[in-house]
Structures are given as structure tokens and as C-alpha cells.
Structure 1
Amino acid sequence: MSDTKQSPEDLAILERLNLDYVEADQASDATRFSELLAEDFVVQTPGVTRNREEFLEYIAKPRPFKDLAVHDVKVRILSDVALIHGRSTYTMLADGAEQE
């Protein structure tokens, strides 16, 4: 599948939404996440699957990390879907370990 024409305006909007997602995660902002997530949202992390409601409850709790940042972000628009790939880094509060 080839990328659809990607206007600078569309890319800017998607990049901003991605940053909103990251900032909401760092800030435990379940309200902002509730605006961003689809009603049928599901997230899978190692050993855990959460639906939208479970994720919003989880995200509302204080985050166990600080300095969450994204790097090497690439936005691709494919028809009416966009894929955002990137890398994140953060520092664990418990032991100061840097994670990626």
C-alpha cells in the first residue's frame, strides 16, 4: 500500500495529536485521553490487555516515570488512516533507570 498525498497541514495536525497523547500520558491526564481514544480502543502491553475504560482508569494514576519524550517520529497517511511510528524514552522514578 502506498502513502496517500500528505499535506503539511494534515501532518502538522497528526504530529500535534501525537504530542498531546504523549503529554497526556506523562501528566496522567485521563480527560485528554478520553478525547483522543476511540470508543473501541484496546491497548496491549506485555502481559496486560486493557479496554478503553480500564486504560483511562490506569492512566489517571500517577505515572511511574518522568521525562517522557518521543524521537524519530514518522507519520504516514494511508487513505483515511494514519500510522505514527516512533521511539520513546523516559526515566523510572523508582530507581532513576533510563528506559526506551
Structure 2
Amino acid sequence: DRSLVDRAGFLKQTARPITIRNLKAEDVLIRIIGDAAIIHARTSYVMPDGSAGGGRYTDVWAKIGGQWLAVSAHVTR
């Protein structure tokens, strides 16, 4: 739907119970560049109504104070 979700909205979405089934991450590519990591993948899953779903995502992580923290996420469905 081309909508943008801010940090608060993203955290709210991820806190909800999962309604999809058979989530698979495929074609995963992880690139670590110093204290940053970029993760790309394709996903497939089954929607609650039984139809197929899928998308792609890119996550960016940063190593801050010795801990990896998610700093950005982009998802297309």
C-alpha cells in the first residue's frame, strides 16, 4: 500500500501476535562493514486466509557499545 511506518508504528506492529504461518527467509545476504551490517532477504509466508504472501526486506544494524542494534528497516510486500 506504499505506506510509511515510523519507529513507534513499527514497534507496535512487531508486538502484535503473529497471524501468518510458515514464514521463510530466502536469498539472505548479510554484509558487515565495520560496525554496521546490512541484511537483505526475500520472504514467503501463508496469510490467515490461506493465500500466499511474500516480500523483501532490508535491515540495517549498528554495533553500539558492543551490542548490535537495529537502526533501520525497509519492507515491501
Range of TM-score over shorter length: 0.5 to 0.7
Please say which structure displays the higher CA radius of gyration.
Answer: 1
Alignment partner, residue 48 of structure 1: 4
2:32 partner amino acid:
I
Secondary structure at 1:48's aligned position in 2? coil
More strand by share: 2
Higher relative contact order (CA 8 A, sep 6+): 1
Give the length in aligned residue pairs. 54
Deviations 1:15-48 (A, max 9, x none): xxxxxxxxxxxxxxxxxxxxxxxxxxxxxx8313
| Secondary structure of the structure 1 residue equivalent to 2:6 | strand
String of CA shifts for 1:54-94, please: whole Å, max 9, x gaps.
Answer: 3222222223311111011111112221111111111101x
User: What is the root-mean-square deviation in Å for CA atoms of aligned residues?
Assistant: 1.9
Quick one: which of 70, 86, 89 aligns to 2:25?
70
Runs (5+) with no aligned partner, structure 2:
55-77
Larger fraction in helix: 1
State, as a whole percentage, how many aligned pairs show the same letter.
33
